[in-house]
Amino acid sequence: MVRWLVALLVTAAAVALLWRPLFAWWCLDAGNLAFLRGDRVTAAADFVRGLRLEPGWRALLEDHGRAVLDAEPAVALEDFRSAACGEPCTAEQGDAESRIGRFQDAIDDYLAAHAVERVGGAVDHLANEGRFDDAIGLERALADRLGGGMLAMADLASAYYAIGQLDDRAADAATTSPPAASTAARARGARAAAYRQDAIRSFKRASQLAPFNEGYLLSLGFAESTVGDKRSARAAFERVLDLHPHESDAERGLAQLDPSAPNSN
């Protein structure tokens, strides 16, 4: 009888001590399953239940941050900071900061976490949401932090090329907005023109940094032709043909500038 009583007391003590971490672990597991299904709302709710029981669990904090990253990036940022899980959390802080417009902080964290490759994903996320100014701002913040050396120059050229592409997308979005009052239409037209000019500057800078990159030169040529600067466009296309005779896109660009051009098809 005494043994059974002792066993019962030990079991009761174990339950009293362990039910909270065990249920928190169950919430963590359930939340991750919901996250994998793409149900971030349910995942976040499961992680919150777990955090009520174990508010200091780093895994729960990090996973809750991932679940609310798009909906509540400021909350996610605090979660990642509290989780303090090293480079993974530092990189995730960059993801959150990029979403709330803290571009320099985001770049600092990406660099500190050796995760510069995540910049492209953050830029794509912002651009796909139509936040082109934010996407361009993040890419510019990266360009401002890149140093010297051949590898850095290549990365810098790529950053400027990405900025030019974002400008092109922003200009297209501005010119394809639904019809509105004439004043608003004029404002959109002016904004599109500004994006086009910035695209030219960015493609030109990329081509200066990587003068043998045909893709950068072609983008510059087509951007110049879009705004009617045929002389500069022709120079870019002819430079491509110097590097790669009979390159089809360069010949097509020249043909669009002047159907009677000798390089046209």
pLDDT tens, position by position, 68-87: 999 999 999 999 999 999 99
Q: What is the pLDDT of residues 4-29, one digit of tens each?
A: 555 555 454 444 455 578 889 999 99
- For the question of whether the overall pTM of this predicted structure is more than 0.85, the answer is no
Q: Which of 118, 53, 42 is nearest to 63 (CA)?
A: 42
Residue 264: the pLDDT is 44
What is the average pLDDT across 50-61? 93
Residue 265: the pLDDT is 43
Residue 175: the pLDDT is 77
Q: What is the pLDDT of residues 230-265, one digit of tens each?
A: 899 999 999 999 999 999 999 999 998 876 555 444
Residue 135: the pLDDT is 92
User: In which region does residue 114 sit, left (phi positive, over 0), alpha (psi from -120 to 50) or beta (all else)?
Assistant: left
| 118, two tokens | 């995540």
For the chain, what are the domain ranges? 146-265
Q: Which CATH superfamily is domain 146-265 in?
A: Tetratricopeptide repeat domain (1.25.40.10)
What is the rounded distance in angstroms from the CA atom of residue 196 to the CA atom of residue 201?
9
What is the average pLDDT across 35-61? 94
